[in-house]
């Protein structure tokens, strides 16, 4: 089996906690080099995962001929510069979400990848959850009918931290919405196959002192007329987080708790009604048929994310998460910020 030789750019946060451990389980990965602005971090990660080289500058990884792909997990404000440099060095790229600070910057990354003939996939890992894969199939099979309403909620506790890049708009692009809500927006697009047409939002900083939103509520009008509600918060304790995802259609509903996570966990309830139902003034629920997802294979989302991108490189096939889909998510996020600033409904073009 061919193995892709990887370099990691920014290896101290999510890379060390989740993605590199997931990579280590992939069948087509050889981790060669790691880089972090903090060389101590890079050296520690090199030792931990038995990589060959550790650097404190990304140019050193890009100069290594043997490296075929890079995983970029640096703070968002470095994504544009590093991804464009990687494309020019002819490295395939797995880039963490959000693609960049702005849609405009993301388009420049896309252009560089096309011009240099490299593949790029974006780190929307929740698509790889076994339950989400199954839910996508169930929706596509028409089992819950036409989607009329969706809702997703993703929260954590993220207090004021001196010097944190996520808490400065110029370095992160925004707060809870672009950091957490974008996962839900991406997942709703992916699962439903629908696209957002129009957005209205409230984004505010209620609890903390930083300049980015700690609370965001977005309502999206989808291209089939359905509505979707996405709320994201940095000010709800982790212990109180429920992470609900709800999808309602003309024949049934899908509700998950805890599947919006960094592991393949959570519960799913699927209720479908008999096709031949007529109006029931008593609104009884007798005809409801539950569908169980028991037996759905679950694994490690990060392993699948890296392995499937590696397969796309090896077989020259489509990447699992296209940059076009991620740029569309980012257009929705930008529209949501604009909506709140201008107190207007914003159309997505």
What are the residues facing 30 on neighbouring strands?
A: 5
**Cβ closer to ligand NAD: 11 or 191?**
11
Q: Which of residues 167 and 196 has its CB atom nearest to ligand NAD in the complex?
A: 167
Residues at the interface with ligand NAD (CB under 6 A): 9-10, 12-14, 18, 36-38, 41, 58, 73-76, 78, 96-97, 123, 125, 179, 262
The least distance separating ligand NAD from the CB of residue 4, rounded to whole angstroms, comes to 19
Residue 326 CB, nearest approach to ligand NAD (Å) = 12
Q: Which is nearer to ligand NAD, 126 or 199 (CB)?
A: 126
Nearer to ligand NAD, 174 or 249 (CB): 174
- Residue with smaller CB distance to ligand NAD, 58 or 190: 58
- Contacts of residue 338, Cβ cutoff 8 Å, sequence gap at least 6: 344, 346
User: Considering the complex, what minimum distance in angstroms separates the CB of residue 95 from ligand NAD?
Assistant: 8
What does each C-alpha distance from 256 to 41, 179, 271 come to in angstroms?
A: 37, 21, 12
Closest separation in Å from C-beta 328 to ligand NAD: 17
Nearest approach, Cβ of residue 143 and ligand NAD (Å) = 29
């Amino acid at each position: 089996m061919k193995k892709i030789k990887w370099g990691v750019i920014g290896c101290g946060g999510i890379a060390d906690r989740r993605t590199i451990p997931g990579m280590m389980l992939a069948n087509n990965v050889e981790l060669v080099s790691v880089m972090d602005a903090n060389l101590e971090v890079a050296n520690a990660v090199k030792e931990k995962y038995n990589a060959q080289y550790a650097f404190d500058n990304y140019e050193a990884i890009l100069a290594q001929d043997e490296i075929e792909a890079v995983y970029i997990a640096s703070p968002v404000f470095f994504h544009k510069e590093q991804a464009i440099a990687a494309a020019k060095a002819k490295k395939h790229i797995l880039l963490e979400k959000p693609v960049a600070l702005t849609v405009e910057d993301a388009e420049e990354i896309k252009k560089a990848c096309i011009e240099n003939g490299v593949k790029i996939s974006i780190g929307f890992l929740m698509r790889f959850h076994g339950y989400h894969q199954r839910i996508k199939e169930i929706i596509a099979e028409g089992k819950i009918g036409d989607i009329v309403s969706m809702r997703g909620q993703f929260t954590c506790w993220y207090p004021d931290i001196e010097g944190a890049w996520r808490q400065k708009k110029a370095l992160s692009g925004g707060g809870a919405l672009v950091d957490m809500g974008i996962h839900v927006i991406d997942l709703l697009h992916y699962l439903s196959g629908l696209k957002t047409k129009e957005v209205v939002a409230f984004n505010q900083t209620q609890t903390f002192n930083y300049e980015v939103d700690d609370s965001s509520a977005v309502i999206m009008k989808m291209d089939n007329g359905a509505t979707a509600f996405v709320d994201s918060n940095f000010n709800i304790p982790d212990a109180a987080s429920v992470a609900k995802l709800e999808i309602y259609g003309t024949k049934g509903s899908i509700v998950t708790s805890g599947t919006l996570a960094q592991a393949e966990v959570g519960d799913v309830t699927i209720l479908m009604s008999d096709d031949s139902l007529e109006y029931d003034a008593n609104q009884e629920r007798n005809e409801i048929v539950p569908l169980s997802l028991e037996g759905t294979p679950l694994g490690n989302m990060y392993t699948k994310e890296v392995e499937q991108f590696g397969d796309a490189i090896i077989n020259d096939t489509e990447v699992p998460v296209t940059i076009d889909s991620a740029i569309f998510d980012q257009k929705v996020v930008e529209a949501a910020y604009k909506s709140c600033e201008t107190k207007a409904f914003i159309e997505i073009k």
